[in-house]
């Protein structure tokens, strides 16, 4: 792919910034790579500015001053782009719903935060809005069970968009768990996973049992919009030796294999 430095790039087409997100960046770089491919495939000019975190771990733990500090850095990182796209409903939700409330109302930072919130999108939501299609060829990974993240249901509703895109992947058999399973948290919850590990892991086990039941306990790929939930579910599945492999929805849409 042709790559140039952000600072010297000149382009007339809209510039989309990719927000890789911490978990994907550190644990699963292929998620961000997949997101980049999908955005490019849709005709976007994609930039990856120097960036860090959305501030959610600090915000949710009650460290408001730290969250504000991180948020202000985020404003600087993503200024000057026409849209910011994240392969995570959770991180996109932090920017969209919470960041503007962390800075002083009416301040310059607040104006910037509101503007950033208005142009930040979760990946699948963005792809569907611009009419993009998945670039994946024939799927050969076996049955795929959808795992909603709480953020994808209740912070940045995007499940319908993700499911519509997944259904365009040829050969992909998509299984949806029953409604109550879909609505119930998997127990990741960010720092909840380490503050209440016993509850977190038990919620994960119950979730996995229900997801596997949706596939009649056959080996499955579990996919969803948030790498945090998926990493947690994989860790629980590995410890319990369950036949589960997780894949981020972007990886499937971009044609990667399990």
Residues 75-114 that bind other proteins (CB under 8 A): 77, 82-83, 96-97
User: Is position 170 an interface residue for other proteins (rule: CB under 8 A)?
Assistant: no
CB of 58 to other proteins, least distance (A): 5
Long-range contacts of residues 128-134, Cβ cutoff 8 Å, at least 24 apart: 128/161, 128/164, 128/165, 129/161, 130/42, 130/43, 130/44, 131/42, 132/38, 132/39, 132/41, 132/42, 132/43, 133/165, 133/168, 134/38, 134/165, 134/166, 134/168, 134/169, 134/252, 134/253, 134/254, 134/255
Q: Which run of H or E residues covers position 122? A: strand 120-122
* Cβ closest to other proteins, residue 59 vs residue 139: 59
* Cβ closest to other proteins, residue 89 vs residue 144: 89
Query: Do residues 34 and 21 lie in contact, with contact meaning Cβ atoms separated by under 8 Å?
Result: no
Task: For the segment 200-219, give every residue that binds other proteins (CB under 8 A).
Answer: 200-205
Comparing C-alpha atoms, which of 16, 50, 46, 43 is closest to residue 33? 46
* Cβ closest to other proteins, residue 172 vs residue 228: 228
* Cβ closest to other proteins, residue 147 vs residue 232: 232
- Separation of alpha carbons 220 and 215, rounded Å: 7
CB of 171 to other proteins, least distance (A): 26
Comparing C-alpha atoms, which of 17, 22, 102 is closest to residue 54? 22
Q: Which stretch binds other proteins (CB under 8 A): 13-21, 102-110, 166-174, 250-258?
A: 13-21
User: Is position 168 an interface residue for other proteins (rule: CB under 8 A)?
Assistant: no
CB of 254 to other proteins, least distance (A): 13
User: Is position 240 an interface residue for other proteins (rule: CB under 8 A)?
Assistant: yes
Binding residue for other proteins, selected from 80, 107, 111, 154, defined by CB under 8 A: 154
* Cβ closest to other proteins, residue 57 vs residue 174: 57
Q: Which run of H or E residues covers position 222? A: strand 220-224
Task: For the segment 112-151, give every residue that binds other proteins (CB under 8 A).
Answer: 117-121, 126, 129-130, 132, 150
| 3-state secondary structure (DSSP) of residue 121 | strand
Query: Do residues 58 and 26 lie in contact, with contact meaning Cβ atoms separated by under 8 Å?
Result: no
Q: What tokens does 9 get?
A: 């790039």
CB of 224 to other proteins, least distance (A): 14
- Separation of alpha carbons 256 and 222, rounded Å: 14
Task: For the segment 43-62, give every residue that binds other proteins (CB under 8 A).
Answer: 43-53, 55, 57-62
Q: Which stretch binds other proteins (CB under 8 A): 40-48, 105-113, 161-169, 247-255?
A: 40-48
Binding residue for other proteins, selected from 42, 163, 174, 256, defined by CB under 8 A: 42
Q: What tokens does 172 get?
A: 């992909």
């Amino acid at each position: 792919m042709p790559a140039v430095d952000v600072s010297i790039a000149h382009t007339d087409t809209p510039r989309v910034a990719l927000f890789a997100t911490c978990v994907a960046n550190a644990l699963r770089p292929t998620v961000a790579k997949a997101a980049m491919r999908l955005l490019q495939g849709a005709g976007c000019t994609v930039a990856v500015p120097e960036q860090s975190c959305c501030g959610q771990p600090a915000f949710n733990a009650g460290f408001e001053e730290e969250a504000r500090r991180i948020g202000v850095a985020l404003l600087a990182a993503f200024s000057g782009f026409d849209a910011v796209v994240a392969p995570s409903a959770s991180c996109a939700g932090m920017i969209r719903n919470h960041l503007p409330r962390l800075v002083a109302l009416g301040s310059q930072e607040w104006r910037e935060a509101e503007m950033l919130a208005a142009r930040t999108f979760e990946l699948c939501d963005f792809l569907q809005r611009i009419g993009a299609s998945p670039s994946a060829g024939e799927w050969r990974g076996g049955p795929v069970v959808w795992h909603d993240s709480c953020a994808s249901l209740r912070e940045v509703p995007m499940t319908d968009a993700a499911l519509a895109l997944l259904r365009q992947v040829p050969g992909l058999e998509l299984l949806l768990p029953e409604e109550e399973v879909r609505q119930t948290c998997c127990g990741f919850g960010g720092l909840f996973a380490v503050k209440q590990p016993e509850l977190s892991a038990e919620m994960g086990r119950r979730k996995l049992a229900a997801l596997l039941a949706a596939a009649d306990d056959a080996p499955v790929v579990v996919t969803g919009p948030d790498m945090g939930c998926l990493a947690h579910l994989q860790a629980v599945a590995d410890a319990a030796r369950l036949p589960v492999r997780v894949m981020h929805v972007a990886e499937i849409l971009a044609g990667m294999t399990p």
